[in-house]
Structures are given as structure tokens and as C-alpha cells.
């Protein structure tokens, strides 16, 4: 069942969305060759707690860390570890916060030092596909309109959309109805209503769409070993333009945190 948000709910959801956005930027500033992904995780946990919230992922469904950190061919749900980032890597950081009874959830894929032109293009196209999806997140449209816009855009570049993992509603729970696939047919699926808050999060592979699950039962990687990128924002559906609750501005415009 889809839970529409009240104005009061939205106040707390905006607070979570901004904190998660700031946490991603804080982590982004630490990303450099030689830094371990576990160090990023621990810094994020401290930052979230120092700001009066709790890590939204830690313990969720048994997930053992604050961040999902997925490097190169890892798609999502990577475990922070002693792996030291290398120049040319890409690192998807997915972060959740919980405060005042509500959740925040966003993700960004960062380059480590200089990356190849091909890899840069994968990041740019994946992020752009998220904005293409957001454009369709308007009351009266359907869920399929979002996925269709994302799929059309990325497949135009020869990339592929991961099918098994999807975006989702968010609120008092990290994952609420409806599911928000990154593929689909325009005009199909649940109708978007004012007051819905959803996470749109394209997971895009440079190669084929197929994935496999790691022995840890969480981490998903591309079967062909190609790189995968992931960007996620939280969006409030209104009668007019979508209100994007989280933001990459703290990452991209060097705003004081």
C-alpha cells in the first residue's frame, strides 16, 4: 500500500534527505587513492551520529554497515572493507539516515582520481538518466513512464539496465511501495499521486545487464565484469514539477557542510 505523505511528514523527510546529501558530500571529500572503503564507512557513521541521526542501513535486514560501497563491477550493496581505492576506480556510495521517525536514502558514484573517458561517460549518462526519470515523476504519469525514460536514455549509449534491483517508495520505512523499476513501458504501472515520495535509482552497467550475488548474500556484481554506476535521489510527487528532496549540490558545488 502506498503511504501518501502529509506536510508534517515532508518536513522530516526533507531533513533526512538533506543530511544524507551532506553525508555523501562529506564522504566524497575523503575519496582518494589509498583510502580504504571501511574508513569511508566509519567516517560516514560518525558524521551521521554527530548530526543527530542514525545510519539508516546499519542493521536493516541484517546489513552490517552504514554505507553500501560498491567499487567498479560491483553494482550495489558492496561491503566496506580493507580494500584501498585505486586511481581509475569508480565507487558507488549509497547512504541512508534515520531521524524523527523518517528515512533518507541517496547514492552517488564517485571517480577516484583520474578515470578513463569511457568510465566518465558511464557516470555522466547514468546520472543524466536519473534526471530523465525525475522529469517524468509528475502526478498523473505512471511508474512505467519513469523507467521507460531511464531505459531509453541509457540504451541509446549501449549500456544496460539492471532488472533485479529497483527504486522504491520511502517514508517511515526505508523501502515502501511502490517499486520503481529503471526499465518499463510508458503509460504502464501504478499512477503517480501527489504526496508520494519515491527513490529513483538507476543501476546501469557498461556491458550486459546480467548480475550475480556474492557469497556474502548481499553484494551484487556484473556477470561480465563491466563497470556499473548508480545514482539515487529522493523525489516528492506533486501536481507540478517534482520536488527533489535530496541533492548532489553539496558534492558538486563545494557548499559548506
Q: Scanning residues 95 to 114, which ones bind Mg ion (CB under 5 A)?
A: 105, 107
**Cα dihedral 32/34/35/36 (nearest 10):** 140
The beta strands (E) that lie in 52-181 are given as: 54-55, 67-71, 74-76, 90-99, 102-111, 160-161, 167-169, 176-180
Q: Which C-beta is closer to Mg ion: that of 62 or that of 158?
A: 62
Size of the site for Mg ion (CB under 5 A): 5
Q: Is 94 in the site for Mg ion (CB under 5 A)?
A: yes
199 belongs to the binding site for Mg ion (CB under 5 A): yes
Cβ 7 to Mg ion shortest distance, Å: 23
For Mg ion, the closer CB: 31 or 200? 200
x-or-dash string of contact with Mg ion, 227-246, rule CB under 5 A: -----x--------------
Contact map string, positions 17 to 36, toward Mg ion, x by CB under 5 A: --------------------
Using only C-alpha atoms, what is the Rg of the chain? 17
Shortest gap between Cβ of 158 and Mg ion (angstroms)?
25
Segments in the chain forming alpha helices (H): 7-30, 37-50, 117-135, 143-155, 249-252
Distance CA 31, CA 33 (A): 7
**d(C-alpha 216, C-alpha 119), whole Å:** 27
Between CA 134 and CA 150 the distance in angstroms is 9
CB of 202 to Mg ion, least distance (A): 11
CA terminus-to-terminus distance, the chain: 36
Residue 176 lies near Mg ion (rule: CB under 5 A): no
Binding letters toward Mg ion, positions 39-58, x by CB under 5 A: --------------------
Residues that bind Mg ion (CB under 5 A): 94, 105, 107, 199, 232
Amino acid at each position: 500500500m502506498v503511504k501518501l505523505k502529509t506536510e508534517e511528514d515532508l518536513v522530516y523527510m526533507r531533513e533526512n534527505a538533506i543530511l544524507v546529501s551532506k553525508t555523501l558530500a562529506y564522504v566524497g571529500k575523503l575519496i582518494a587513492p589509498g583510502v580504504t572503503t571501511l574508513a569511508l564507512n566509519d567516517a560516514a557513521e560518525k558524521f551521521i551520529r554527530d548530526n543527530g541521526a542514525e545510519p539508516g542501513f546499519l542493521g536493516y535486514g541484517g546489513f552490517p554497515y552504514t554505507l553500501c560501497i560498491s567499487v567498479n563491477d560491483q553494482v550495489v550493496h558492496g561491503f566496506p572493507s580493507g580494500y584501498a581505492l585505486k586511481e581509475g576506480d569508480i565507487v558507488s556510495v549509497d547512504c541512508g539516515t534515520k531521524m524523527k521517525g523518517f528515512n533518507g536514502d541517496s547514492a552517488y558514484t564517485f571517480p577516484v582520481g583520474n578515470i578513463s573517458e569511457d568510465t566518465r561517460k558511464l557516470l555522466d549518462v547514468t546520472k543524466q538518466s536519473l534526471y530523465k526519470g525525475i522529469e517524468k515523476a509528475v502526478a498523473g504519469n505512471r511508474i512505467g513512464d519513469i523507467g521507460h525514460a531511464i531505459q531509453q536514455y541509457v540504451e541509446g549509449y549501449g549500456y544496460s539496465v539492471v532488472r533485479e534491483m529497483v527504486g522504491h517508495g520511502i517514508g517511515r520505512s526505508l523501502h515502501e511501495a511502490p517499486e520503481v523499476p529503471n526499465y518499463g513501458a510508458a503509460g504502464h504501472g501504478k499512477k503517480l499521486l501527489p504526496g508520494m515520495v519515491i527513490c529513483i535509482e538507476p543501476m546501469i552497467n557498461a556491458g550486459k545487464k546480467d548480475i550475480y550475488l556474492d557469497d556474502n548474500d548481499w553484494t551484487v556484481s556484473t556477470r561480465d565484469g563491466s563497470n556499473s554506476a548508480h545514482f539515487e535521489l529522493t523525489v516528492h510527487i506533486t501536481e507540478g514539477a517534482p520536488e527533489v528532496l535530496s541533492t548532489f549540490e553539496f558534492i558538486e558545488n563545494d557548499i559548506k557542510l
